[in-house]
Amino acid sequence: MAAEKTTGIVLRVIAFSETSCIVTLFTREFGKLTTIAKGARRPKSPFEAALDVLAICRIVFLDKSPGGMGILTEAKLERRFRGASRSLNQLYAGYYVVELLNTLNDEGDPHPDLFDHAVATIGQIDLNETRDEQLGQILLRFELNTLDVLGHLPMLTKCVGCGREKTTVTRVSFGLNLGGILCQTCRRGESNIVSLSSGGLQCLLELVGGQLGSNQRNSDNWNKADRAPGKLAMIDATRLLVDGANEIREFKEEKEEWSRGVPEREPLSNADSSTITFADRVRCQAEVRQLVRRYITHLLGFPPKLHKFLRNI
């Protein structure tokens, strides 16, 4: 087995036998890695105190044989996460970063950009003066960056169903199944729809750097010139199979879903950034955070454990 060196974030440490641990790391060059650290639980361990969740360390490991587990031979602490001693929300935010890295990444699939962003994010969370509202923004950027790197960033400038370009910022339906905004035609018959306010869409576009085209506007704010006829025909045919009662139920669920946390009043109707107040921005960011967390839950097929601890962030 070849010895490899890399830098990693400790994601999980599980006791294994009386003296050893199973350690999962997210590394820069090798992606997610599960290794056995022999002797790590002994009082005079060769790993000292490097193997703590959220610690960033330089490691040496023996690469696994196919189907086997790597052997961690050395771990030197580069930076310890101290957020836990500062506030509970900083601890939860840090654990959430770890949970996303662990659940959304496959073993041996490296993403150096995601690693660098994760290290920077952990550093931001760990700062002494990080307030709860900043934690929310830091996590939202990390969530979107992770989705982007892993190829799951939602489509926000075109209808994800038919490809028609969205031309203005207005309230829009977001389809969790297809991962993006939907025009009124494609929305019909789709389940798992979330309504996104114009302010929420604007906020999301700013975060991911997207822009809506402003040419050839039409009455429903979709650029009909970009229709893909074949795709649209297929969707229309599917629509005929829609159960009307089903659609009404979905609509009710959608209203209930959003009426709990987000006011129903349409914010930022003109979507002019010069008129956006601080309160509007806070409300739109809260809406976007809810949407992104719901989208991540949908992608995973289960809610991340930490979501219930992030309600105030």
Which CB sits closer to Zn ion, 151 or 229?
A: 229
Q: How far is the CB of 225 from Zn ion (least distance, A)?
A: 13
Nearest approach in angstroms of CB 229 to Zn ion is 12
Query: What residues make contact with Zn ion under the rule CB under 5 A?
Result: 159, 161-162, 183, 186
Q: For tokens 């809506």, what's the residue?
A: 212
Instruction: Please identify, using beta-carbon distances, which residue of 24 and 185 lies nearer to Zn ion.
Output: 185
Closest approach of Cβ 239 to Zn ion, in Å? 11
Q: How far is the CB of 158 from Zn ion (least distance, A)?
A: 8
Nearer Cβ to Zn ion (183/194): 183
Continuous segment of H or E residues that includes residue 10: strand 3-16
- What is the spatial distance between Cα 34 and Cα 108, in angstroms, rounded to a whole number? 9
Judged by beta carbon, residue 186 or residue 204, the one nearer Zn ion is 186
Q: How far is the CB of 180 from Zn ion (least distance, A)?
A: 10
Toward Zn ion, which CB reaches closer, 60 or 178? 178
Cα 281 to Cα 156: distance, rounded to the nearest angstrom: 19
Nearer to Zn ion, 155 or 262 (CB): 155
CB of 155 to Zn ion, least distance (A): 10
